[in-house]
Amino acid sequence: MLGPVVHVVGARPNFVKAAPVVAALIAEGRPQSVVHTGQHYDERMSHVFFRELGLPRPDVDLGVGSGSHAQQTAALLTALEKELPARAPALVVAYGDVNSTLAAALVAAKLGLPVAHVEAGLRSFDMAMPEEVNRRVTDQLADLLFVTSPEAIGHLANEGVDPDRVHFVGNPMIDTLMKHLPRFDARAVRTAHGLPERYAVVTLHRPANVDTPASAATAVRALREAAGQVELAIPLHPRGRAALEAAGLSDVAGVRILDPLGYVEFMGLLRGAAAVITDSGGVQEETTVLGVPCLTLRPNTERPVTVTHGTNRLVSAETLGPALRQALDDGTAARTAEGPPLWDGRSGARIARVITRWLERHG
């Protein structure tokens, strides 16, 4: 008998992407196991997502916690090397581009276990981003590569990936958004946090924006100008909170600093926003579907479909102020009528069908 499909998740974006895949495989009658690495361990960024998204309780929480990239990845490798053989998986499924993704793919490959990568082929072409390293290595090791947008197919082809391993399935993160959309209550979130009718949301956590005093100070200067136009609600990721507060964010008038929020509450906050300022890949995707103007404080994006088919625009600290003014004046940014291809709420089912057929052939 084939072993289970083992899903390795460790951070907020992983949970959101995994939920529809797990649900679809349950419908297929496929045995499964969920391994939580504990990369995100704060209750508000981890276990609340399992409850809100209907994910099965993890079979194990490895509790690796935080640390430098090397420290965290080393802890992940050691923990997964013990955990995966004990579960004898027929397939290991890794999600996104976090350190847990890379560790799952590397350990599985070393152990001779097949690997699937959900969200394969995305590229920023910026090797200074730790996530770009994780994406590239994971895609070289994966036996099944599930692609969320068309340009990713070309990136994988350029890197010599066998096209028979690549499957264009759409975006499972959007499955989750569509399923829970009625629960995203912007008015309730505004009331709970004392926000005005018109506000913007900010999420910043990338190393280029928060890892040094200089970069954090640059980000805070840009946010100070933004806060002069509209009140800013900023749920602060633990990773960047200390740096941004040390750079003076707490003293900026018009800034409302929030603790991390659960999925439903955060999505309600996004849904009601006049604009969003972010460096998050997932938020670029979510705002595209919600129709909220998104200003990405980065020189590049691995999700260009959110620019061509969505509401996203790349900005710098210098151009953020004028770009925000335009977004606020224009209101909801124009989108193509059809949106990104296959972002239709059925990606999890497509992934489950491919996995089921693959296991039948390789069982």
Q: Which residues are catalytic?
A: 205
* CA distance linking residue 224 with residue 214, whole number of Å: 15
Contacts of 327 (CB under 8 A, 6+ apart): 274, 275, 293, 295, 313, 333
Q: Which amino acid is at 65?
A: G
* CA distance linking residue 3 with residue 7, whole number of Å: 13
Contacts of 306-311 with C-beta under 8 Å, sequence gap 24+, read 306/340, 309/335, 309/336, 309/338, 309/339, 309/340, 310/284, 310/285, 310/335, 310/339, 310/340, 311/287, 311/335
Nearest Cα neighbor of 261 from 1, 12, 2, 10 is: 12
Q: Contact 66/72 with Cβ under 8 angstroms?
A: yes
Q: Which two tokens stand for residue 251?
A: 């003293």
For residue 203, CA distances in Å to 85, 89, 182, 185, 281 come to 37, 36, 23, 19, 11
* CA distance linking residue 168 with residue 50, whole number of Å: 26
The two counts, helices (H) then strands (E), for the chain are: 16, 13
Q: Contact 39/62 with Cβ under 8 angstroms?
A: no
* CA distance linking residue 172 with residue 169, whole number of Å: 8
